[in-house]
Amino acid sequence: MPDSEYRDIRKLDLFAQMADDNFTSLMRGAYVQNFPAQIELITEGEPSDFLHIVISGSVDLFSTWNGRETSMATVRPISTFILAATIKDAPYLMSARTLEKSRIALIPSQDVRAIFDADSNFARAIVTELAQCYRSVIKAQKDLKLRTSLERLANYLLRQQRHAGGGAAFELDFEKRRLASVLGMTPENLSRAFKGLQPYGVSVTGTRITIDSQADLERFARPNPLIDDFST
């Protein structure tokens, strides 16, 4: 692993405070691999052998049941995924596939659990991380249960806009079909939902979104920090 990557991983909240030799020992057991696009990294139901870290590229977390499939989240650099399964030594609840060419570090779950037992700074960081993840999923669930698909899209656009810097125009960072799945709708419906937001000043050209009338869209979307603010 190149030194720059090593340092980038070290800087993650999860690893920043742990003892040097514990971090070194975690990294010694780690693999780093480059994967092409559309590779299934893990499959739900399998034992959680590795904690994964996305170093570059992006990874889709998805689940299936009875022939249906839904996107649960997208992981972008630099962050970990499947932490809860690793800690609990329980089967993965989600599958993961690369969306593009991606570089992934794999840390044996056994090592993570061992260091977790030995390093209380690491344990504390894991708590914070898990609490954050938990709250994110609760927000996602509120989004799903309390809003219509049009409202979910409107609020997604506002979040994405803020994430992109706040300007009136910005790019979607998803393929539309995956965005549809993340938002819990079909691609056809997403298409119609974009049209349904035109009266509120939203225009779409490919993956480029323009919000002509911020106030109108916000009046319709009614964004709420307890659902839409990822930082708290």
Applying CB under 7 A, which residues contact DNA?
Answer: 148-150, 175-177, 184-192, 194-195, 204
Tokens, residue 191? 């298409």
- Spatial CB neighbours of 1, under 8 Å, sequence gap ≥ 6: 27, 30, 32, 105
Instruction: Write down the H helix ranges in 12-169.
Output: 13-16, 20-28, 83-88, 109-118, 120-146, 149-163
> Cβ of residue 137: shortest distance to DNA, in angstroms?
20
> Cβ of residue 23: shortest distance to its own copies, in angstroms?
18
Is position 139 an interface residue for its own copies (rule: CB under 8 A)? yes
Q: Which CB, 120 or 186, lies closer to DNA? A: 186
- Give which of its own copies, DNA, none residue 24 binds (C-beta under 5 to 8 Å, depending on kind): none
Q: Is 191 exposed, middle or buried (0-12, 13-18, 19+ CB in 10 A)?
A: middle
Is position 203 an interface residue for its own copies (rule: CB under 8 A)? no
**Inter-residue contact 190 to 153 (CB < 8 Å):** yes
Tell me which residues in 43-72 interact with its own copies (CB under 8 A): 44-45, 63-66, 68, 70, 72
Q: Which CB, 132 or 186, lies closer to DNA? A: 186
For the CA atoms of 142, 186, 66, 73, the dihedral, rounded to the nearest 10 degrees, stands at: -50
Is position 124 an interface residue for its own copies (rule: CB under 8 A)? yes
> Cβ of residue 34: shortest distance to DNA, in angstroms?
18
State in Å, rounded, how far the first CA of the chain is from the last one. 33
Phi, psi of 68 (to 5 degrees): -100, 160
Is position 79 an interface residue for its own copies (rule: CB under 8 A)? no
Distance CA 202, CA 211 (A): 5
Is position 153 an interface residue for its own copies (rule: CB under 8 A)? no
Report the interface residues with its own copies, using CB under 8 A: 44-45, 63-66, 68, 70, 72, 83-85, 87-88, 90-91, 93-94, 116-117, 120, 123-124, 126-128, 130-135, 137-142, 144-147, 151, 184, 222, 224-227, 232
